[in-house]
């Protein structure tokens, strides 16, 4: 199983970035997928989650209206479009996979211990 994040970097406040997470080694289209982040000296926190077919999403209040999670199951890829970035968005961003049956009963979890697979992370720095 592999989750490989990309797309991080340095961006000015108010700018945008799109993160990608390429999955392999498991049935990506079955899984709930999520994004988490961890800033220096802080605990890992939930950012967003999406169900198996992309029909439902869930966001942390801190990013609602600014970030959009999406997925392309044909490409085994998860995305996080980030706009109106703020310095407090600076963190390492991780994608994660949560194994649940691929049906409408899927629950979009915001707790890291519910996720089974994790990527290595990509750094996002928001600074002028």
CA distance 77 to 79: 7
Say whether pLDDT at 5 is over 90: yes
The percentage of residues in the chain with a pLDDT greater than 70, rounded to a whole number, is 100
Mapping DSSP to helix (H, G, I), strand (E, B) and coil, where does residue 109 land?
coil
Does 64 have pLDDT greater than 90? Answer: yes
Task: To the nearest 10°, report the CA torsion of 84, 88, 93, 95.
Answer: -70
Among candidates 40, 55, 9, 32, which has minimal Cα distance to 116? 32
**pLDDT tens digit sequence for 96-122:** 999 988 888 889 999 999 999 999 999
Enclosing H/E stretch for 59: strand 57-59
Query: Residue 67 — pLDDT band, cuts 50, 70, 90?
Result: very high
Structure token digits, residue 82 = 């980030």
What is the chain's mean pLDDT, rounded? Answer: 96
How many alpha carbons lie under 13 Å from residue 16 in its C-beta half-sphere? 7
pLDDT at 102: 86
Q: Are 93 and 32 in contact (CB under 8 A)?
A: no
């Amino acid at each position: 199983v592999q989750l490989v994040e990309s797309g991080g970097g340095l961006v000015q406040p108010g700018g945008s970035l799109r993160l990608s997470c390429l999955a392999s080694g498991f049935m990506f289209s079955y899984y709930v997928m999520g994004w988490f982040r961890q800033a220096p000296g802080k605990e890992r926190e939930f950012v967003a989650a999406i169900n198996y077919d992309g029909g439902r999403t869930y966001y942390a209040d801190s990013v609602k209206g600014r970030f959009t999670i999406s997925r392309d199951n044909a490409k085994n890829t998860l995305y996080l479009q980030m706009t109106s970035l703020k310095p407090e968005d600076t963190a390492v961003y991780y994608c994660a996979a949560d194994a649940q049956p691929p049906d409408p009963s899927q629950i979009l979890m915001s707790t890291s211990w519910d996720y089974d697979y994790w990527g290595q992370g990509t750094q996002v720095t928001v600074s002028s």
